């Protein structure tokens, strides 16, 4: 494919984006060089930090400076964080002095804190400028590398944030008023050490394009803009999804992550779940006599326990996602329990009826289940109601318990809930069986 591209000697950014993943670093450089300069710049600025890092490391040394200087300080900091420690200094040295200082300051923040997301270049105004002076000043600034002009931040000489004025408000204000008179002082801000998930909530709840980031002393350090937040929202959802499937969040694209790293993130939970699931072998051993006497009971074990697991994973996922979105809070636990108790009983009855009918109808076709098939069918019916109700309750309560204990509710994964429910499901099933089949099969 690259061969064809090289022959054509021209390429557009959209095509390159499509094939990017399947190219080696060297092929990427080759293809990147085929873009027209302005297309290349657009393409470059749209790359993820990981892709930027690998491209930058593959580019010839003499080209790196100009590309590095194209990046906004927050993007440059993200790139630098993606390269091995011993190459960081080399990349930083390509920047001009003031930018290097900004980037180095950003590197001190955790990547998932507001400080790690923010851009230190925002549009500043002084409170005593007139609206006309401010617009003239911005018109000169607009040529420089500011992240956004949508909001203008009014700063005192100690870099403390006094107010904010949207460009549109400034623009629509009488020319001779001062900035102080038109600015808003009911400020929505975040602290530089706040987690990105909180920043994302504050920004979206207030419908803002950008939000100012202050340090502990109230000095303004930068702004976080919506485009950083879209990535955060996506990233947090991916983390939730991966945790819900019973693995540690990968934090890297699936096809890019090293095999060994992916293996560790999957093997940990899988082994832990396996150890938990071993309790099923103990539970089964406890009922070994019953199984030996009535092998027919063993036939329905996978069906019964998987129903508990499936209903439990539905419930836990609904609650976990609702918690992530802020729809359900810790205080709502009692409402959730009542809802899920009703859901569990209703869903369990549906499955119970299907299970009952299946045994009775099958028996009419081929008599697999012996003379006591009706009692077996009743056992399965009642067990399903019990197991599904228990699964639903366990699945919906586990996220609350985890959050209460300070863990991430998303750890209440489908496999975790299933493992919890499997053991109890076996106990419910064999207990129901020993009551109903007493004197008949047992």
Please report, as residue ranges, which positions from 161 to 180 form the binding site for a copy of itself (by CB under 8 A).
167-168, 171-172
Classified as helix, coil or strand, 204 is helix
Residue 204, both tokens = 């979206």
Q: Does 261 bind a copy of itself (CB under 8 A)?
A: no
Query: Which residue reads 């998930």 in tokens?
Result: 197
CA distances from 424 to 195, 290, 309, 417, 442 (A): 38, 17, 11, 11, 21
Site for a copy of itself in 208-237 (CB under 8 A): 209, 226-227, 229-231, 233-234, 237
Binding part of the chain for a copy of itself, among 56-64, 78-86, 94-102, 266-274 by CB under 8 A, reads: 266-274
Cβ atoms 308, 384 nearer than 8 A: no
* Of the candidate residues 347, 377, 382, 420, the single one contacting a copy of itself (CB under 8 A): 347
Cβ atoms 193, 116 nearer than 8 A: no
Site for a copy of itself in 35-64 (CB under 8 A): 42, 45-46
Q: Give the nearer residue to a copy of itself in terms of CB position, either 194 or 313.
A: 313
Q: Does 314 bind a copy of itself (CB under 8 A)?
A: yes
Contacts with a copy of itself: how many residues (CB under 8 A)?
111
Cβ density class 300-333: b for 16+ within 10 Å, e for less: bbebbbbbbbbbbbbbbbbbbbbbbeeebeeeeb
Q: Does 104 bind a copy of itself (CB under 8 A)?
A: no
Binding part of the chain for a copy of itself, among 97-105, 109-117, 346-354, 401-409 by CB under 8 A, reads: 346-354
User: Where does residue 60 rank: exposed (0-12), middle (13-18), buried (19+ CB within 10 A)?
Assistant: exposed
Residue 262 to residue 241: CA distance in whole angstroms: 15
Q: Does 330 bind a copy of itself (CB under 8 A)?
A: no
Query: In whole angstroms, how close is the CB of 108 to a copy of itself at the nearest point?
Result: 26
Site for a copy of itself in 280-299 (CB under 8 A): 280-281, 284-285, 288, 291-292, 295-296, 298-299
Residue 113, both tokens = 């804190």
E strand intervals along 169-219: 190-191, 210-214
* Of the candidate residues 116, 163, 309, 386, the single one contacting a copy of itself (CB under 8 A): 309
Query: In whole angstroms, how close is the CB of 209 to a copy of itself at the nearest point?
Result: 7
Q: Does 335 bind a copy of itself (CB under 8 A)?
A: yes
Residue 363 to residue 357: CA distance in whole angstroms: 10
Q: Does 25 bind a copy of itself (CB under 8 A)?
A: no
Query: In whole angstroms, how close is the CB of 283 to a copy of itself at the nearest point?
Result: 8
Residues in the chain: 442
CA distances from 327 to 319, 321, 336 (A): 9, 9, 12
* Of the candidate residues 24, 274, 330, 407, the single one contacting a copy of itself (CB under 8 A): 274
CA distances from 357 to 77, 109, 274, 343 (A): 63, 61, 33, 21
Site for a copy of itself in 352-381 (CB under 8 A): 354-355, 358, 368
Helix orientation angle between 73-82 and 97-107, rounded to the nearest 10 degrees: 60
Q: Give the nearer residue to a copy of itself in terms of CB position, either 162 or 202.
A: 202
Classified as helix, coil or strand, 83 is coil
Site for a copy of itself in 72-101 (CB under 8 A): none
Q: Does 267 bind a copy of itself (CB under 8 A)?
A: yes
Site for a copy of itself in 418-437 (CB under 8 A): 418-419, 422, 426
In the shown chain, the binding pattern of residues 235 to 254 toward a copy of itself, with x for contact by CB under 8 A and - for none, equals --xx-xxx-xxxx--x--xx
Query: In whole angstroms, how close is the CB of 158 to a copy of itself at the nearest point?
Result: 27
């Amino acid at each position: 494919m690259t061969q064809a591209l090289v022959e054509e000697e021209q390429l557009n950014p959209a095509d390159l984006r499509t094939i990017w993943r399947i190219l080696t670093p060297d092929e990427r450089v080759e293809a990147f060089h085929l873009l027209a300069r302005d297309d290349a710049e657009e393409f470059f600025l749209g790359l993820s930090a990981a892709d930027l890092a690998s491209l930058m490391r593959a580019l010839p040394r003499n080209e790196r400076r100009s590309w590095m200087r194209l990046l906004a300080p927050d993007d440059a900091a993200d790139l630098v964080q993606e390269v091995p420690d011993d190459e960081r200094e080399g990349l930083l040295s390509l920047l001009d002095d003031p930018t290097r200082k900004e980037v180095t300051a950003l590197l001190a923040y955790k990547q998932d804190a507001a400080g790690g997301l923010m851009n230190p270049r925002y549009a500043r105004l002084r409170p005593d400028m007139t609206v006309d002076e401010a617009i003239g000043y911005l018109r000169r600034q607009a040529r420089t590398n500011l992240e956004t002009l949508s909001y203008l931040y009014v700063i005192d000489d100690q870099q403390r944030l006094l107010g904010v004025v949207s460009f549109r408000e400034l623009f629509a204000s009488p020319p001779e008023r001062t900035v102080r008179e038109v600015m808003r002082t009911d400020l929505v801000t975040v602290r530089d050490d706040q987690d990105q998930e909180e920043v994302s909530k504050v920004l979206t709840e207030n419908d803002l394009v950008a939000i100012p980031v202050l340090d502990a002393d109230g000095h303004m350090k930068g702004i976080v803009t919506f485009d950083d937040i879209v990535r955060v929202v996506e990233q947090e959802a991916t983390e939730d999804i991966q945790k819900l499937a019973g693995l540690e969040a990968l934090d890297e694209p699936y096809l890019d992550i090293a095999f060994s790293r992916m293996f560790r993130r999957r093997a940990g939970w899988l082994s832990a779940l396996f150890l938990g699931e071993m309790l099923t072998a103990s539970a089964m051993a406890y009922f070994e006599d019953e199984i030996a006497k009535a092998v027919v009971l063993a036939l329905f074990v996978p069906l019964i326990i998987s129903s508990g697991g499936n209903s439990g994973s539905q419930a836990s996922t609904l609650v976990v996602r609702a918690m992530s979105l802020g729809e359900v809070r810790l205080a709502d636990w009692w409402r959730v329990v009542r809802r899920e108790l009703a859901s569990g009983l209703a869903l369990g009855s549906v499955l119970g009826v299907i299970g009952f009918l299946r045994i009775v109808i099958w028996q009419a076709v081929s008599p697999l289940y012996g003379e006591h098939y009706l009692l077996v069918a009743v056992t399965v019916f009642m067990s399903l109601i019990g197991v599904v109700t228990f699964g639903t309750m366990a699945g919906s309560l586990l996220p609350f318990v985890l959050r209460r204990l300070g863990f991430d509710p998303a750890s209440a994964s489908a496999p975790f809930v299933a493992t919890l429910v499997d053991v109890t499901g076996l106990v419910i099933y064999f207990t129901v069986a020993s009551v109903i089949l007493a004197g008949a099969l047992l």
